[in-house]
Every structure is written in structure tokens, then in C-alpha cells.
Amino acid sequence: MNNTISDAVPSVADATAYNTTKNSSGVSMESFLKIMAASMSNPSMSGGDSGSSGSGTDYVSQLAQFTTLDQLNAMGKNLTSSVMIMQQQEAFNLLGKNVTLNDGGNSVTGKVDKVRFNNGYATLVVNNKEYSMSTLNEVG
């Protein structure tokens, strides 16, 4: 039985397979470059006289902002996936251990019988009840 973390939690594998060709507004880099090229080749599209139309540095600035936004979105998705994987590994390490959890102000103590996953996030099953990892107070 040679399982990987992605075999145990398929949603983690799916979370990392996101589309990097479009940013959150749904505009692809290719579309942005086409719009920018059309705007540069036809300055009258910018709506002003020739002295107030966008300069080359404005276009470069817009391209840099678009690229930065795209990279920040990708980095955020990678960070979310990394946090999920770390949390899942921690949950696996708690299997069979005695833990104390916070259940709405009450402390619950018991052995971690199972680890479940909800949208890639780990939950612990203690005394036949499911708890999120954030309710964990003590191990051992």
C-alpha cells in the first residue's frame, strides 16, 4: 500500500491544478496584450488628443501591474495548497493519540480515531464526533 498524500486527499491534487492563463477578472494575458497592441497602434482609441494618449511607459506599467496581479493570484493558490497539505500531515500524525479539543467552550478529551477531509481541510474524529483542527488545544 504505497499511497501518497494526493491519493488520500484527491482535492489537494485538484487544488493545485488551477488555470494560470487568466487572472481573477477572467482576462487572459493574451487578450490583454492584444488590447494593448491595438491601443498602441490606434492612439485615437484612447479618447483624447495625440498629446494625452497613453505613452509607451503607461503600457509597460499596465503590463507590469497585470503580470504582478497574475503572479499574486498564483502565489495565493500555492500557499493555500501548501497550508492544506501541512494541516493534513499534522492530522495524520495525530491518529491514535489522545487530544483535548474545544467544543463550544467545553473541553473534550479522547483518542483520535479517524482523520477526515472536507474540501481538502483535515478534521479529527474523536469519540465518534468530527472536529476541525482549529479546535485542538492539547496533544498527549
pLDDT for res 10: 41
Q: Note whether 90 and 107 are same-domain residues.
A: no
Q: How far apart are CA 74 and CA 89, in angstroms?
A: 23
pLDDT for res 23: 52
pLDDT for res 36: 74
Q: Note whether 83 and 100 are same-domain residues.
A: no
Q: Note whether 9 and 69 are same-domain residues.
A: yes
pLDDT for res 56: 64
Q: How many domains would you assign to the chain?
A: 2
Q: How many CB atoms lie within 10 A of CB 7?
A: 11
SS3 42: coil
pLDDT for res 16: 40
pLDDT for res 21: 47
Q: What is the pLDDT along the chain (140 residues), one digit of tens a residue?
A: 343 444 444 444 444 444 444 555 567 777 777 877 777 777 665 554 444 455 667 777 888 888 888 899 889 989 988 888 898 899 999 999 999 999 888 999 999 999 998 888 889 999 999 998 889 998 98
pLDDT for res 54: 56
Q: Note whether 8 and 26 are same-domain residues.
A: yes
Smallest CA-to-CA distance from 67 within 39, 32, 118 is with 32
Q: Are 82 and 107 in contact (CB under 8 A)?
A: no
Domain extent at residue 78: 1-94
Q: Note whether 55 and 108 are same-domain residues.
A: no
pLDDT for res 51: 47
Q: How far apart are CA 41 and CA 51, in angstroms?
A: 15
Q: Note whether 88 and 44 are same-domain residues.
A: yes
pLDDT for res 118: 83
Q: Note whether 65 and 120 are same-domain residues.
A: no
